[in-house]
């Protein structure tokens, strides 16, 4: 199956990164947000990222203009009818995703593949909101933030995902320049399954008073050569997102490794969500 037109539903941090990378790889992209204000913010994010690439000499102005030409922005979900593949990157809420997939199932052509960028919600549960004929064409396509920089794409095979769908998604992901890994449909898939308990542990050790957050972050960065320490990375991911993934894992596995530490829960309750709110383990200019 040939993919020519790709829909991206949701143009937040992840959706805008996905739309940019897909358009930069030569596909036509239709981006949908729920209202004009969010659409405008998403557009600005993509424009700023393209401008940065031009300034850094990674992209010519002509190529950036061509990428922009391939992008269409809309608030109308019906426009997804032109898509061979739709990638969903909306809020991490099972009911919202199921509602969207049920609608996409009726709007998109029968051959279209529907993918979710979820980090923690079951692909099988999302696919269950679609018709029996569509379910083999539903899978997880989990990108990493910042999407234009991170070289990995994790594909997630739901219970009913067809081999052909997986093969098409693999070829598509490789055409974006990403390296593909394939995971079973369990909360956290591969990467978050290993990452989240480590971040939760780091928060527990901070609560215990092991060392300062700066020293723990420096230890991980310089001792392990990670680009970010655990608190910097938690702030970068978003503490609400981290808590959501941890809770989903704990619900599934009932293992204390995945139990969110009280400090994380309190920070989220206080609105200290990390970079996006200007304050998390560290403070940020907004």
Known catalytic residues? 119, 142, 154, 192
Q: How far apart are CA 101 and CA 118, in angstroms?
A: 13
Nearest to 153 by CA among 125, 172, 137, 126: 172
Residue owning tokens 């009913």: 160
Residue 189 binds to ligand 3HC (criterion: CB under 6 A)? no
Using rule CB under 6 A, residue 227 touches ligand 3HC:
yes
The DSSP annotation for 81-139 comes to GG-SEEEE---S-HHHHHHHHHHHHHHS-TT-EEEE--SSS-HHHHHTTS-TTTGGGEE
Tell me the closest approach of the beta carbon of residue 234 to ligand 3HC, in angstroms: 10
Binding flag, residue 149, ligand 3HC (CB under 6 A): yes
Size of the site for ligand 3HC (CB under 6 A): 16
- Neighbouring-strand partners of residue 31: 8, 73
State yes or no: residue 193 binds ligand 3HC (CB under 6 A).
Answer: no
Query: Binding to ligand 3HC by residue 150, rule CB under 6 A?
Result: yes
Interface residue with ligand 3HC, options 108, 116, 168, 192 (CB under 6 A): 192
Residues 29-68 that bind ligand 3HC (CB under 6 A): 49, 52, 56
Distance from C-alpha of 193 to C-alpha of 186, rounded to nearest angstrom: 9
Check whether 116 is labelled as a binding-site residue. no
Q: Candidates 30-38, 139-147, 158-166, 248-256 — which segment interacts with ligand 3HC by CB under 6 A?
A: 139-147
Q: Is 123 exposed, middle or buried (0-12, 13-18, 19+ CB in 10 A)?
A: buried
Rounded Cα gap, residues 183 and 215, in angstroms: 34
Q: Which is nearer to ligand 3HC, 80 or 199 (CB)?
A: 199
Q: Are 101 and 129 in contact (CB under 8 A)?
A: yes
**Do the beta carbons of residue 134 and residue 105 sit within 8 Å?**
yes
Distance (Å, whole) CA 82 – CA 98: 21
Round to whole Å and give the CA distance between 264 and 270.
10
Considering the complex, state which of residue 49 and residue 165 has its C-beta at the smaller distance from ligand 3HC. 49
Q: Which stretch binds ligand 3HC (CB under 6 A): 30-38, 147-155, 179-187, 215-223?
A: 147-155
Ligand-binding annotation for 178, yes or no, is no
Contacts (CB under 6 A) with ligand 3HC, residues 62-121: 119
| Smaller CB separation from ligand 3HC, 67 or 112 | 67
Q: Which is nearer to ligand 3HC, 146 or 219 (CB)?
A: 146
Contact range with ligand 3HC by CB under 6 A, out of 90-98, 129-137, 146-154, 251-259 = 146-154
Instruction: Give every CB contact of residue 137 below 8 A, 6+ residues apart in sequence.
Output: 111, 112, 113, 114, 162, 165
* Contact residue for ligand 3HC among 18, 126, 237, 246 (CB under 6 A): 237
Determine if 210 is a binding residue for ligand 3HC (CB under 6 A).
no
Q: Which residues are annotated as a binding site for CoA?
A: 49, 56, 119
Q: Which residues are annotated as a binding site?
A: 49, 56, 119
Q: Please report, as ranges, the residues that interact with ligand 3HC according to CB under 6 A.
A: 49, 52, 56, 119, 144-146, 148-150, 192, 227-228, 233, 237, 241
């Amino acid at each position: 199956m040939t993919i020519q037109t790709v829909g991206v539903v949701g143009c937040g941090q992840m959706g805008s990164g996905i739309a940019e990378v897909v358009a930069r790889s030569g596909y036509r992209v239709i981006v949908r947000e729920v209202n004009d204000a969010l659409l405008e913010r998403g557009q600005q994010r993509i424009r700023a990222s393209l401008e940065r690439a031009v300034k850094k000499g990674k992209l010519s102005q002509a190529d950036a203009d061509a990428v922009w030409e391939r992008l269409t922005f809309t608030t109308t979900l019906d426009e997804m009818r032109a898509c061979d593949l739709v990638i969903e990157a909306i809020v991490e809420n099972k009911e919202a995703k199921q509602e969207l997939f049920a609608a996409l199932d009726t709007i998109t052509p029968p051959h279209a593949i529907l993918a979710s960028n979820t980090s923690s919600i079951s692909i099988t549960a999302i696919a269950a909101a679609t018709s029996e004929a569509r379910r083999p064409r539903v899978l997880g396509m989990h990108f990493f933030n910042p999407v234009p920089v991170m070289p990995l794409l994790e594909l997630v095979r739901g219970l009913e995902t067809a081999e052909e769908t997986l093969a098409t998604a693999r070829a598509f992901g490789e055409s974006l320049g990403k390296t593909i890994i394939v995971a079973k449909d369990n909360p956290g898939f591969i990467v978050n399954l290993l990452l989240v308990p480590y971040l939760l542990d780091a928060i527990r050790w901070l609560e215990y008073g092991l060392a300062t957050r700066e020293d723990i972050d420096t230890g991980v960065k310089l001792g392990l050569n990670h680009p970010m320490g655990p608190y910097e990375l938690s702030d970068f991911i978003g503490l609400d997102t981290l808590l959501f993934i941890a809770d989903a894992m704990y619900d599934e596995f009932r293992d204390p490794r995945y139990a969110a530490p009280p400090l994380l829960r309190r920070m989220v309750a206080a609105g200290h969500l990390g970079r996006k709110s200007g304050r998390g383990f560290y403070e940020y200019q907004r």
